Amino acid sequence: MATIKIPSQLRPQTEGADQVEIMGNTVGEALTMLAEKYPALKDRIYDEKGTLRRYVNIYLGDEDIRFLDNLETRLESSSELSLVPAIAGGII
C-alpha cells in the first residue's frame, strides 16, 4: 500500500483528505485506483484521452517519476507519492 499526498487545490475532490492510502504495484496502478476511489479527481489528473495531464507532476519521495520509469515506476509498501500541479505565473 502506498500513500498519495493530495495538494490543497485537489482536496475538494478527495472529500478533504490530504493523503490517501492506495494499493498498486506501480505509480500508474496507484493513480488509476485513486481515480476510481475519487471519480471527481479523474478529470483533474487525466485528460480526455486518459493520459496524465501535462501540468500534473508526480513525485516518488523526492524523485520526479519522469526521471524514473514514469507511470511504470514500481512501488514499495512504504512508498509515498506526491501530486504536484504545475503553477504558471509571472509578470507580463
Give the residue numbers spanning the domain of 74.
Answer: 2-85
For residue 26, what pLDDT is reported? 96
Look up the CATH number of the domain holding residue 78. 3.10.20.30
pLDDT at position 89 over 60: no
For residue 91, what pLDDT is reported? 59
pLDDT tens column, 13-71? 999 999 999 999 999 999 999 999 999 999 999 999 988 888 899 999 999 999 999 99
Query: Does residue 91 form part of some domain?
Result: no
Give me 33's grid cell. Answer: 485506483
Query: Does residue 56 form part of some domain?
Result: yes
Query: Does residue 90 form part of some domain?
Result: no
- From residue 91, how far is each of 22, 85, 87, 88 by CA, in Å? 39, 20, 14, 11
pTM to 2 decimal places: 0.87
- Name beta bridge partners: 64: 59
Quote the distance between the C-alpha of residue 49 and its chain's center.
Answer: 17
For residue 86, what pLDDT is reported? 78
Can you give 14-57 as a three-state secondary structure string? Answer: HCCCCEEEECCCEHHHHHHHHHHHCHHHHHHHECCCCCECCCEE
For residue 85, what pLDDT is reported? 82
